[in-house]
Amino acid sequence: MKTDTSNAKRTAADDRLSSNTIFELLCEDHRRYALSYLSQRVGAVRLEELIDRLAHRDGEPTPERIDRLTVEFYHNHLQKLLDAEVLWYDAEAGTVERRAAARSLDPYLELASVDDLSLAE
């Protein structure tokens, strides 16, 4: 007999990420910045807006830089974030939104943000 779990409630424990997943997600600068940016927003954010923020962070947002970041984000970062179940992606609307599991990353993002600021000084 197979048990139907489709209506089962998720618990906070279900939303925790393993330490390996956390470090894998945060080891790349663009992914870390994207997660930090999304943690400061409520609701869905257009992927175009997120990539534009990445381009501004890297310097002058030239069309070439935006194109490169768009390809890089779609092919490298978005899938990793979706596989880890920390983001929702609405392809029709072109938006991304944090999922509950992303809260596991917040303490690490805060530490990384402090570190990034100290390196910039």
10 assigned to some structural domain: no
The per-residue pLDDT for 115 is: 53
Asked whether residue 59 carries a pLDDT value surpassing 90, the answer given is no
For residues 25-54, give the mean pLDDT: 94
Give the count of domains, the chain: 1
CATH number for the domain harbouring residue 60? 1.10.10
121 assigned to some structural domain: no
Asked whether residue 2 carries a pLDDT value surpassing 50, the answer given is no
**Which pLDDT tens digit goes with each residue over 11-22?**
444 468 999 999
Contacts of 113 (CB under 8 A, 6+ apart): 36
